[in-house]
Structure formats: C-alpha cells, structure tokens
Structure 1
C-alpha cells in the first residue's frame, strides 16, 4: 500500500500532481484568486512559483558531463524526484481545500514550501560549487559491489 501511495514512479503521485496542477488552473481562470486579499494573492504566487521551480528542477538533466548516468535516480535528480511526491500531495490537498472555500490552505502550503525550499537552495548551491569529477553515486556503487 505504501508503495502505491508514495512510489515516485507510480501513477498515484503523478495523478495527484496532475489534479493539483488542474487546481492551479481552476483557481486562476475561475477568478477565485482575483477575489482574494493581497496577502493571499502574494502567498499564492509564492506557492505557485515554488511548485514550478521544483517541477522544473525534477525534470532537468543535472549530469550532462556524465553520459553514463542515464537514470533519473542519481544524486540531485533523485532528491527532486522524491521531493515531487510530497509536493504532489501538498498541491492536491491545498488546491482542493481552496476550491472548497478554505483559502487558509494556501497560506499553510506556501509557508511549508518556503520552509522546504531553502533546503533545495542549499543543495543547488553545493551542486553548482562542486568541481569534483567523481560521478554521482560513485561510492554507492562501490559499497554495493
């Protein structure tokens, strides 16, 4: 059951992300967001921006200088793919609650994304500073041999 609910390659998290993205579109194009306070609009913008950043980071190929790494389950790519599972649940639940009239869910989700995104920023900072030529997961492969 846990594999069904939290497998990053499974259909359930992908479906939740799709429904959450549809929720974003509904909240924008139905005019819901334009009827809200400035603070909620600001938190919604932060919430949407962080979702887009995590989605883009999960889709990028981070190790172009290592052609032998084709699997998206290596290094920073694995982190962002795992992060996307939690983000999928968050956007689905928060957008559903907002559609049902509980706009406070946007505040909570934006605060959660701000709290979590600094970890991603630190990870990206170290990724771009790293000049080592050792491929990702090199030591993992040695230990598992």
Structure 2
C-alpha cells in the first residue's frame, strides 16, 4: 500500500505528543465511522486512513495500556481495509490487513514475558489473517463470476 494519509509534519508532531496522538486517533476514527455510516466510502478513507496511521504511531509509543493500543491498531486496520473494499480498492484492502499482521508479529515476540498481552496480540493477528482470507475469497469469487459470464 503506497497511500499515506498523514503528512510528514503532522506525523512527526504526533510521534512526539502521545496525548495528542491518542486524541487524534479517536477523532479521526469517529469521523471516518460517521462517513461510513452514511455510505460515503471515499470521504471516509482519509479519516480512517489517518486513524490507522495514528494507531500505529501510538503502538510505537510507550503507552500504559499496550493491549489497548494493539486492539486500536487492529480495529483501525480492519476498518480501513473494509472501507477500501467498499470503495472498490480490493488490493489496498488486502495490503492493509497483510501489513497490519506483519507489524504485530514483532510486538508478539517482544512481549514474550507477558502472556496475557501476547495472547491479545496473537488474537489480533488471527483476526487480521481471517479478514485477509475473507477478502481474498471475495476477490476470487468476484473475478470468477465475471469470467463465467
């Protein structure tokens, strides 16, 4: 996925301001969800994309509740992937899910002494993998039905 939703200046500012990053995640996720509820997929994309990128920034920060940052990252990845899918951008949808899984693998490894957190991360990786498989099946089925007509 080559899309970037946060500009470099905003990204850098969020990386140095954890409280602002958490607030920005919530605001963009909520706004993106509002557009999604209206069926406005293209308008939702910048917001859910910013939420996803901000959730990754928060994941990189030393926050008190690491499990919450993992869950927020996972949920924002699923929301972005679903929005891409509804906007007809199937490869971007799969890329988000795949990249999010790859991003969580090192987190899982680093938490080897925290079994509850490790279980949480493993469950999130599984949810992303399930979403990726579902997305792949939808894509294959839609291509198959186009070819058979």
TM-score by length of 2: 0.32
- Which of the pair has more CA radius of gyration? 1
Which structure shows the bigger proportion of residues in helix conformation?
2
**Which structure ranks higher in relative contact order (CA pairs < 8 Å, sequence separation ≥ 6)?**
1
TM-score by length of 1: 0.32
